[in-house]
């Protein structure tokens, strides 16, 4: 892609050189060159920071993982100041994310279908900004809400501490809603209306047309909204740390506490040093790999959609 662009720019330059050198054109070329540099610098800045992050995480995290033993690190079940078995946190993140997705995605997708197809205009004028606002609420506010509302409810209903896997799941299922809703809605809206007319003209009810034609036609877009929701859930930290209990133990049940990869880092980073600190960075490596897998899935799906 970049090579291609470079190529076309070179060609354009060559072309420009072949033409008689008007003064104005030369001036334009200079401005163009400068702007080209500015844009390149802007692009370079973001790439550069990404590269720095990768280098930092991997150079700090990988040696520790190798030194400690990769299998012991990934599959070890005990985590304390000297023993670094990450499995409880890996499972914690995976379970909490799966739980959040299995609650949040059906609600989100159905909301998106409602908003794209059934919603009265007046309600939409309220609902759409509300969903956008949800996306903008700081995660700490979500965490506080969950701490004061969800956690006491769980304590009352199921006993136990209340700070639990269930609390984290419910919290995250709410937090992924705006992502799932907005992306799914735009996916459904981008399906050509002619599919809908075609289906209705066959005697299919509007409902059947929506669920059997429009939604399947939008499925790759809906799927990528789910993938991004997963990314949001697995990466969330501050809200989760407030309600999850955070015991570094293997998951013992929905109403018991749990610790995720992200909270593992934030809980201990303040006082960690030496190998302990490196183990936390290595936790970041694992998290980073999870995110990479999710984003790659997303990209693959996007490219399939483009086809």
Distance of CA 282 to the CA centre of its chain: 20
63 or 206: whose CB is closer to another protein? Answer: 206
Considering the complex, what minimum distance in angstroms separates the CB of residue 114 from another protein?
19
Shortest Å, Cβ 217 to another protein:
5
**Residue 48 to residues 40, 52, 268, 286, 288: CA-CA distances in angstroms?**
12, 6, 28, 21, 17
Give the tokens for residue 117: 């197809």
Size of interface with another protein, in residues (CB under 8 A): 17
Contact code string over 189-228 relative to another protein, x by CB under 8 A? ---x-xx-xxxxxxxxx--x---xx--xx-----------
Closer to another protein by Cβ: residue 31 or 306: 306
Of 32 and 305, nearer to another protein (C-beta) is: 305
Binding segment for another protein (CB under 8 A), chosen from 2-10, 56-64, 66-74, 187-195, is 187-195
**Inter-residue contact 160 to 255 (CB < 8 Å):** yes
Q: Are the C-beta atoms of residues 79 and 261 closer than 8 Å to each other?
A: no
151 vs 191 by CB, closer to another protein: 191
Q: Could you say whether residue 304 binds another protein (CB under 8 A)?
A: no
Looking up tokens 């995660």, which residue turns up? Answer: 139
Tell me the closest approach of the beta carbon of residue 215 to another protein, in angstroms: 12
Least spacing, CB of residue 252 vs another protein, in Å: 46
d(CA 80, CA 85): 8
**Cβ–Cβ < 8 Å for 87, 76:** yes
Distance between start and end Cα atoms, the chain: 18
Q: Judge contact between 202 and 185, C-beta under 8 A.
A: no
* Alpha-carbon dihedral angle through residues 205, 207, 209, 210, given to the nearest 10 degrees: 160
Where does this chain touch another protein (CB under 8 A) — which range of 18-26, 40-48, 150-158, 188-196? 188-196
CB of 181 to another protein, least distance (A): 23
Rule CB under 8 A: which residues touch another protein? 192, 194-195, 197-205, 208, 212-213, 216-217
């Amino acid at each position: 892609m970049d090579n291609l662009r470079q190529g076309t720019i070179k060609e354009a330059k060559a072309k420009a050189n072949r033409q008689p050198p008007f003064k104005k054109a030369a001036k334009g070329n200079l401005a163009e060159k400068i702007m080209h540099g500015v844009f390149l610098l802007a692009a370079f800045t973001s790439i550069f920071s990404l590269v720095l992050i990768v280098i930092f995480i991997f150079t700090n995290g990988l040696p520790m993982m190798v030194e400690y033993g990769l299998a012991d690190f990934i599959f070890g079940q005990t985590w304390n100041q000297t023993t670094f078995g990450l499995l409880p946190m890996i499972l914690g993140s995976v379970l909490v994310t799966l739980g959040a997705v299995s609650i949040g995605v059906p609600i989100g997708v159905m909301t998106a279908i409602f908003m794209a197809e059934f919603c009265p205009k007046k309600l939409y004028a309220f609902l759409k900004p509300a969903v956008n606002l949800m996306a903008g609420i700081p995660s700490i506010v979500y965490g506080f809400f969950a701490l004061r509302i969800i956690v006491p409810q769980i304590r009352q209903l199921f006993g136990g501490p209340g700070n639990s896997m269930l609390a984290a799941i419910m919290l995250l299922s709410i937090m992924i809603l705006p992502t799932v809703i907005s992306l799914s809605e735009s996916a459904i809206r981008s399906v050509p209306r002619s599919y809908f007319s075609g289906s209705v003209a066959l005697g299919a009810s509007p409902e059947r047309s929506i669920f059997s034609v429009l939604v399947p036609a939008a499925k790759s877009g809906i799927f990528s909204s789910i993938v991004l929701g997963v990314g949001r859930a697995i990466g969330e930290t501050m809200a989760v740390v407030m309600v999850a209990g955070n015991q570094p133990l293997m998951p013992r049940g929905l109403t018991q506490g749990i610790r995720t990869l992200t909270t593992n880092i934030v809980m201990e980073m303040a006082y960690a040093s030496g190998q302990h600190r490196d183990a936390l960075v290595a936790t970041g490596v694992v998290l980073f790999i999870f995110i990479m897998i999710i984003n790659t899935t997303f990209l693959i799906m996007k490219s399939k959609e483009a086809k």
